[in-house]
Chains A and B, each alone.
Chain A
Amino acid sequence: MRQIHVLMVLILAWLLAPLMIHTGGTFNLFIFAFINLILVLGLSLLFGYAGQISLGQAGFYGIGAYMAAIFTVRSGLPPLVGLVAAIIVPAALGYVIGRPVLRLRGYYLAMVTAALGLILHTVFVEWVDMTGGYSGITGIPALTIGPLSARSPVTMYYLSGAIGFIVMLLALRLVDTAYGRAMRTMRESEMAARSCGIPTARLKAEVFALSAGLSGLAGALYAQYVGFVSPESFTIDTSINLLLALAVGGVGSLWGAAFGAFLLTFMPEWFHQLQNAYGLVLGALVVVMLTLEPRGFWGILLRLRDALAGRRAKTA
């Protein structure tokens, strides 16, 4: 399968890249790119296969990060426990909320998740005893195996990259299973899916839970690497940026999501001279891109491919 080949080339590049990278800053960027990849993949699964958008990823991301922090710093348990909680708690919350809301036709989930994200942010700020409020939780112990610590940029580069690639692989595989096909049917026509006996409400809630769990995983990685969590990393702007990144990369495709995630991470670096004006770049990019090609960069690639294939067909 061609996609697997592309993936293998990318994995090879990833493994070898540290030979050429010398500054901690670049590793830093890649680590955040992988964290963003996991976040945007979750969004992509939700939209591409359940047809819903979520504006609350930052909330689940935050829960994951705070779980990782609280379970280790406050309760003194090993980091692995925090990691598990970071995935399960957001997933459970996602299912509970998603089940009734996703029953509805239309896209109320967008607003509900936006509201949820804002509420969670308020919880992070106000529940000072648990979260430390604006001062956050600091001194999160990193996952260590022998001399390798999750705090070190190189180690984290490999750890986050490995997890990122694994999630990508699983997502690609998921699409081809019966489950994945059911999800795609649901997206094309909910009525058709229901008449096939597919439990659409439950399926949609499960996808939502999956995307929430992935966000929690990303949060745990974040907490491990930075060693500090505070509400400012998990705001509605974070959620909006993630969704816009997906839109620009291409909502219908996991590769589009990956591209969007990397764009989201690297663009602020390229444009850091702009300081406050960076928002204009992102907003303008989204509006222009979606107006011209709703399928994002992935759509542009597809158009190129079709154009090339058409030309080849003509000359043949």
Chain B
Amino acid sequence: MSSAEILQLVITGLTVGSIYALVGLGFNLIFNATDVINFAQGEFVVLGGILTAVAVGTTGLPLWLAIAVAIALVAALGALIDFAAISRVRRGSVMTLAMITLGLAVIVKTSLLLWVGPDPLYFDPFTPGPPLRIFGAVLQLQAIWVIGIGVLVMVALKFFFSHSRVGREMLACAIDREAAQLMGINVGATVRLSFILSGALGALAGVLITPLTNATYDQGFTLALKGFAACALGGFGRASSAILGGFALGLIEAASVAVLPSGLKDSVALSVLILALMIRPSGLLGGREERRHTQAM
């Protein structure tokens, strides 16, 4: 393989990896706060892309405004999900909650199909212009945005968790919810915030990637799985593990296209998930997966 092809691979890998990392982060937030796997995480991404595309296409809003509106709407949806369903389930386990998110994912997906149809939607890249050529590889301008904004957000989140009071409270809930409550932390509000953030992160990922690949109503579930794979690969504990996992997953997937037929691309990421959990469940960075002692489920 030539160095140009390798470079192209790395670029593609980092670009999709950024998306997987954002989805994985969203997963992590909710998982840490509630022990629930949010099956609707992928739908947040798709919604972000489709809402922006519709806003730009039909109402003619300027792009930055459409993006802001889309992200805000999806964040609000996250809050709504917590308010209407998650926080109301008193009897029942996290399994029940997980299945509720699954039902919600089906609702979102069907609604999108009815609303915008089965065809992919697009909007223009943030900055117009031909792709850059670097040492024989093609670098789309949008890809720079994806990686750039992705990394910025991840750094911002790190600061948020370590330096802000709200962030540290979220971490505390993640470590031990009962202890956090005893310390006076409002767990309910923390959970609500984690859903809002998750929604916003997911929508942001969708907004970043749609100019490159498109937003289609049924992409959600596979994206969710890949986000989960990012978490599994990195390790479920710290947020930074999901980030590393996401980029690693992106690179592995991009590399596989070089050797395998492209139809198998998704399967590679999924196999990574299965292998990661089978062989080294604590992930590459060894997250704190056995954190909670309260319930087995």
Contact between chain A and chain B defined by CB under 8 Å = yes
Q: Is the CB of A108 within 8 A of B277?
A: yes
Contact with A along B3-39 (1 / 0, CB 8 A): 0000000000000000000000000000000010100
Q: Is the CB of B271 within 8 A of A244?
A: no
Provided the pairs A125-B263, A189-B296 are in contact, do residues A53 and B98 lie with their beta carbons within 8 angstroms?
A: yes
Contact with B along A226-237 (1 / 0, CB 8 A): 000000000010
Provided the pairs A105-B296, A108-B281, A290-B92 are in contact, do residues A118 and B110 lie with their beta carbons within 8 angstroms?
A: no
Provided the pairs A104-B281, A118-B222, A283-B110 are in contact, do residues A244 and B267 lie with their beta carbons within 8 angstroms?
A: no
Q: Is the CB of B37 within 8 A of A286?
A: no
**Is A122 interfacial (CB 8 A cutoff)?**
yes
Contact with B along A24-66 (1 / 0, CB 8 A): 0000000000000000000000010001010000000000000
Q: Is the CB of B106 within 8 A of A279?
A: yes
A101 cross-chain contacts in B, Cβ below 8 A: 274, 277-278
B264 cross-chain contacts in A, Cβ below 8 A: 122, 126
**Is B259 interfacial (CB 8 A cutoff)?**
no
A 228-277 contacts with B by CB, 8 A: 236, 240, 243-244, 247, 251, 276-277
**Is B273 interfacial (CB 8 A cutoff)?**
yes
Q: Is the CB of A244 within 8 A of B113?
A: no
**In whole Å, how far is B24's beta carbon from the nearest beta carbon of chain A?**
12
Q: Is the CB of A111 within 8 A of B92?
A: no
A243 cross-chain contacts in B, Cβ below 8 A: 99, 102
Closest to A113 in B: B274
**Is B1 interfacial (CB 8 A cutoff)?**
no
- Bound form: Cα–Cα A126–B268 in Å: 14
Provided the pairs A111-B225, A287-B104, A294-B96 are in contact, do residues A97 and B274 lie with their beta carbons within 8 angstroms?
A: yes
- What is the size, in residues, of chain B's interface with A at 8 Å between Cβ atoms? 49
Closest to A277 in B: B114
Q: Which of A100, A280, A282 contacts B111 (CB 8 A)?
A: A280
Q: Which of B99, B107, B281 contacts A280 (CB 8 A)?
A: B107
**Is B132 interfacial (CB 8 A cutoff)?**
no
**Is A115 interfacial (CB 8 A cutoff)?**
yes
Q: Interface size class for chain A? A: 35 or more
Closest to B278 in A: A100
B 75-121 contacts with A by CB, 8 A: 84-85, 88-89, 91-96, 98-100, 102-107, 109-111, 113-114
Q: Is the CB of A244 within 8 A of B99?
A: yes
- Bound form: Cα–Cα A286–B229 in Å: 26
Contact with B along A118-162 (1 / 0, CB 8 A): 110011011000000000000000000000000000000000000
- Bound form: Cα–Cα A144–B266 in Å: 41
Main secondary structure of the interface of A (DSSP, over half): helix
**Is A316 interfacial (CB 8 A cutoff)?**
no
Q: Is the CB of B103 within 8 A of A290?
A: yes
Q: Is the CB of B267 within 8 A of A111?
A: no
Q: Is the CB of B92 within 8 A of A294?
A: yes
**Is A114 interfacial (CB 8 A cutoff)?**
yes
**Is A110 interfacial (CB 8 A cutoff)?**
yes
Q: Is the CB of B267 within 8 A of A51?
A: no
Q: Is the CB of A118 within 8 A of B266?
A: yes
Most central of A115, A278, A284 by chain B CB within 10 Å: A115
Q: Is the CB of B37 within 8 A of A111?
A: yes
B212 cross-chain contacts in A, Cβ below 8 A: none
**In whole Å, how far is A35's beta carbon from the nearest beta carbon of chain B?**
21
Most central of B91, B221, B222, B278 by chain A CB within 10 Å: B278
Contact with A along B223-239 (1 / 0, CB 8 A): 00100110010000000
**Is B261 interfacial (CB 8 A cutoff)?**
yes
- Bound form: Cα–Cα A276–B194 in Å: 32
B281 cross-chain contacts in A, Cβ below 8 A: 103-104, 108
5 more contacts with CB within 8 A, not counting A106-B297, A110-B98, A112-B273, are A115-B229, A118-B267, A282-B103, A287-B100, A287-B104
Residues of B within 8 A of A (CB): 35, 37, 84-85, 88-89, 91-96, 98-100, 102-107, 109-111, 113-114, 221-222, 225, 228-229, 232, 261, 263-264, 266-267, 270-271, 273-274, 277-279, 281, 289-290, 296-297
